[in-house]
């Protein structure tokens, strides 16, 4: 496994996430919902696989990633056997009650089940390789790959420019270019959420503010996470 | 103010001299910043050569400079500019990214870990890889 943090705020954001300075003051309900706690922090702080940082979202450009968590399966020959898709995540989180930080039991159960199906499929592929039903045939991988459009490529260029300006300390100019990237590729929640998280006080925090929820609600019936076309995967919501 | 060019996946290239336009490069700068070199058959990078069409006029023989905006337009590359800070980003064409994915060969990359050590995807050749993206946000 290679984990890549698509974090424009870079190491500062990742360090704050894996060694949070405010863990004790977070609401208990949110801790339970997110699975946060000393055990998770200890695990995150000592990974057994490469954990990389991608400030400019190069990986999003190369593999067409628009949200997190998403994953790509790559075999021993370096061939893609499952292109970018949500890594078991679905839209049950949208049933969150903001006042109590709780989701209805059936939504929580659906989220657990989807993650379980995804992990089981992954284990099946690790064990069986190409014989796994979850390792897609080349023509099926090609059918699922959409690849970026011209607008998406423009969004990526705007994003890269914005990240450079952010690293140069030009925050307001950086935000303008990240906003342009969001305008050009509104379905990229990676662009959108990083754009909201550049202010010094927000780096490394979970973005669960009103702007995020308003944007999610504005989706209406549309998906936040794209459906996962995988044998045995329950519907996302 | 130093002008800067961000070209595809290369490192930022700072242009020396005052009031430089990052879209106009000398041939020496072009080679260092982008890898493209002017040859009799056109602009070449590795095995690829792009002949200059009569109407493209991306080489200005009077100044000896390449107009990168025209060349990028010819290649279908996206261009993002920040005039105030004199920075330009020129990305890879969408078709190249799409073709790379359709080849099914996982695009290679090099990224740092928290300690700054660089890792390449190709270092994992011979093993199955779950390439997993996440974010602190």
Mind listing the pLDDT tens digit for each residue in B86-129?
999 999 999 999 999 999 999 999 999 999 999 999 999 999 99
Whole-number percent of chain A with pLDDT over 70: 93
Query: pLDDT category, A160, cuts 50, 70, 90?
Result: very high
Please give the pLDDT value at position A165.
97
Contact B104 A77 (CB under 8 A): no
Is pLDDT at A219 greater than 90 in this prediction? Answer: yes
Which range, of A36-45, A218-227, B76-85, averages the lowest pLDDT? A36-45
Contact B133 A61 (CB under 8 A): no
Query: pLDDT category, A207, cuts 50, 70, 90?
Result: low
- Nearest by Cα to B10 from B35, B45, B44, B29: B35
Query: pLDDT category, A33, cuts 50, 70, 90?
Result: low
Cα maximum dimension of chain B: 54
In a domain, A222, yes or no: no
What are the residues whose beta carbons fall under 8 Å from the beta carbon of A35, sequence distance 6 or more? Answer: none
Contact B137 A207 (CB under 8 A): yes
Quote the tokens at residue A141: 């991988």
Exposed, middle or buried by CB within 10 Å (0-12, 13-18, 19+), for A45? exposed
Question: Which is higher by pLDDT, A147 or A219?
Answer: A219
Is pLDDT at A199 greater than 80 in this prediction? Answer: no
Q: Give the range of the structural domain holding residue A65, as residue numbers without chain letter.
A: 3-217
Q: How far apart are CA B41 and CA A237, in angstroms?
A: 57
Highest mean pLDDT among A25-34, A36-45, B33-42: B33-42
Contact A63 B82 (CB under 8 A): no
Please give the pLDDT value at position A19.
76
- Confirm or reject contact between B12 and chain A (CB < 8 A): yes
Strand partners, B43: B38, B50
Is pLDDT at A99 greater than 80 in this prediction? Answer: no
- Confirm or reject contact between B103 and chain A (CB < 8 A): no
Is pLDDT at A106 greater than 70 in this prediction? Answer: yes
In a domain, A226, yes or no: no
Q: How far apart are CA A87 and CA A79, in angstroms?
A: 18
Enter the DSSP assignment of A41. H
Which range, of A175-184, A203-212, B75-84, B105-114, averages the lowest pLDDT? A203-212
Residues of B in contact with A59 (CB under 8 A): 109, 111, 131, 133
Contact A63 B107 (CB under 8 A): yes
Domain count, chain A: 1
User: Residue A164 is nearest to which of B12, B77, B107, comparing CB atoms?
Assistant: B12
Is pLDDT at A85 greater than 70 in this prediction? Answer: yes
Enter the DSSP assignment of A179. H
In a domain, A223, yes or no: no
Minimum Cα–Cα distance from A154: chain B residue: B78
Cβ pair A161, B12 in contact under 8 A: no
Cβ pair A14, B114 in contact under 8 A: yes
Average pLDDT, chain A: 89
Which residues, numbered 15 to 74 in chain B, qualify as contacts with chain A under a Cβ-Cβ cut-off of 8 Å? Answer: none
Q: Average pLDDT for residues A15-22, to the nearest whole number?
A: 78
Q: How far apart are CA A146 and CA A156, in angstroms?
A: 16
Cβ pair A182, A195 in contact under 8 A: yes
In a domain, A232, yes or no: no
Is pLDDT at A173 greater than 90 in this prediction? Answer: yes
Q: How far apart are CA B4 and CA B21, in angstroms?
A: 9
Minimum Cα–Cα distance from A196: chain B residue: B137
Residues of B in contact with A160 (CB under 8 A): 6, 80, 89, 91
In a domain, A229, yes or no: no
Minimum Cα–Cα distance from B93: chain A residue: A153
Query: pLDDT category, B57, cuts 50, 70, 90?
Result: confident
Is pLDDT at A236 greater than 80 in this prediction? Answer: no
Quote the tokens at residue B64: 């000896």
- Nearest by Cα to A152 from A59, A55, A66, A216: A66
Q: Average pLDDT for residues A90-101, to the nearest whole number?
A: 84
In a domain, A14, yes or no: yes
Cβ pair A55, A163 in contact under 8 A: yes
Q: Average pLDDT for residues A81-97, to the nearest whole number?
A: 92
Which candidate in A10, A20, A78, A83 is best for mutational testing of the B interface (most B CBs within 10 A)?
A78
Q: Average pLDDT for residues A55-70, to the nearest whole number?
A: 95
Contact B121 A74 (CB under 8 A): yes
Enter the DSSP assignment of B47. T
User: Residue B121 is nearest to which of A2, A141, A153, comparing CB atoms?
Assistant: A2
Q: How far apart are CA B66 and CA B15, in angstroms?
A: 14
Please give the pLDDT value at position A34.
67
Q: How far apart are CA A171 and CA B32, in angstroms?
A: 29
Is pLDDT at A24 greater than 80 in this prediction? Answer: no
Domain positions in chain B are 3-96
Is pLDDT at A224 greater than 80 in this prediction? Answer: yes
- Confirm or reject contact between B102 and chain A (CB < 8 A): yes
User: Residue B133 is nearest to which of A59, A79, A206, comparing CB atoms?
Assistant: A59
Cβ pair B112, A52 in contact under 8 A: yes
């Amino acid at each position: 496994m290679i984990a890549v943090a698509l974090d424009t705020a870079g190491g500062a954001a990742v360090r704050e996430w894996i060694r949070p300075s405010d863990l004790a003051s977070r609401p208990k309900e949110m801790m339970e919902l997110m699975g946060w706690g000393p055990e998770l922090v200890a695990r995150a702080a000592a990974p057994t696989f490469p954990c990389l940082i991608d400030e400019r979202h190069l990986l999003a450009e190369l593999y067409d990633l628009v949200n997190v968590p998403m994953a790509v399966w790559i075999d021993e020959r370096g061939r893609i056997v499952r292109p970018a898709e949500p890594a078991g995540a679905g839209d049950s989180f949208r049933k969150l009650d903001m006042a109590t930080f709780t989701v209805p039991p059936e939504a929580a159960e659906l989220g657990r089940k989807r993650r379980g199906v995804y992990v089981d499929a992954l284990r099946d592929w690790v064990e069986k390789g190409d014989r796994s039903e979850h390792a897609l045939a080349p023509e099926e991988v090609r059918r699922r790959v959409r690849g970026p459009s011209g607008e998406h490529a423009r969004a990526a260029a705007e994003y890269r420019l914005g990240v450079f300006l952010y690293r140069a300390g030009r925050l307001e100019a950086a935000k303008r270019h990240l906003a342009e990237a969001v305008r050009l590729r509104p379905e990229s929640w990676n662009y959108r959420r990083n754009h909201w998280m550049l202010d010094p006080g927000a780096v490394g925090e979970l973005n669960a503010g009103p702007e995020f929820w308003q944007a999610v609600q504005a989706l209406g019936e549309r998906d936040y996470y794209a459906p996962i076309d995988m044998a045995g995967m329950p519907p996302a919501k | 103010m130093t002008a800067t060019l961000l070209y595809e996946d290369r490192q930022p290239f700072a242009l020396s001299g005052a009031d430089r336009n990052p879209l106009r490069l000398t041939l020496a700068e072009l080679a260092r910043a982008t890898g493209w070199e002017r040859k009799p058959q056109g602009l070449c990078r590795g095995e690829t050569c792009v002949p200059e069409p009569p109407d493209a006029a991306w080489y200005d023989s009077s100044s000896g400079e390449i107009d990168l905006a025209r060349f990028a337009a010819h290649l279908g590359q996206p261009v993002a500019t920040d005039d105030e800070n004199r920075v330009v980003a020129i990305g890879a064409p969408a078709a190249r990214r799409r073709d790379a994915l359709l080849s099914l060969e996982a695009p290679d990359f090099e990224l740092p870990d928290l300690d700054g050590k660089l890792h390449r995807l190709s270092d994992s050749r011979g093993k199955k890889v779950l390439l997993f993206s996440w974010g602190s946000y």
